[in-house]
Amino acid sequence: MDQETRKGLFFCLNTVRMVDMMNFEGYLLDSGHCFCDSVPVRMYFLQDKAFTYDPLTREEKEDRWILYECAANPEYTEDEIHRNSEYLIEEELHPLLFDVPLIDKEGALENL
């Protein structure tokens, strides 16, 4: 590849990156019911990475629809949640600790 082609390709890639950055609206925040170490919880996700959860009430733990949703979703461990949360803190992207631009999917932010 000659020098002119490389310059053109580099310019195109940088232009695409800049356009993507200009269109950035925020990180996707979502929640759902999952099992965490075999216990049903309401899990919170940032860009599909589980980072924290809320425990459920006794009635919620016995609700068939919640248990069905938990069974349909992947199971997580405390260690996975801790690592994901720690990573978000290091990158200053943890929504509970830092002002992070969020796209709230289905009202997840109201429960967080």
pTM: 0.75
Measured from the Cβ of residue 40, the count of other Cβ atoms closer than 10 Å reads 21
pLDDT band at 105 (very low <50, low <70, confident <90, very high): confident
Helix and strand tally (H, E) in the chain?
5, 4
Residues 3-7 have a mean pLDDT of 51
Beta strands in 1-112 (DSSP E): 27-36, 39-46, 49-55, 102-104
- Higher-confidence residue of 11 and 52: namely 52
| Mean of per-residue pLDDT scores for the chain | 83
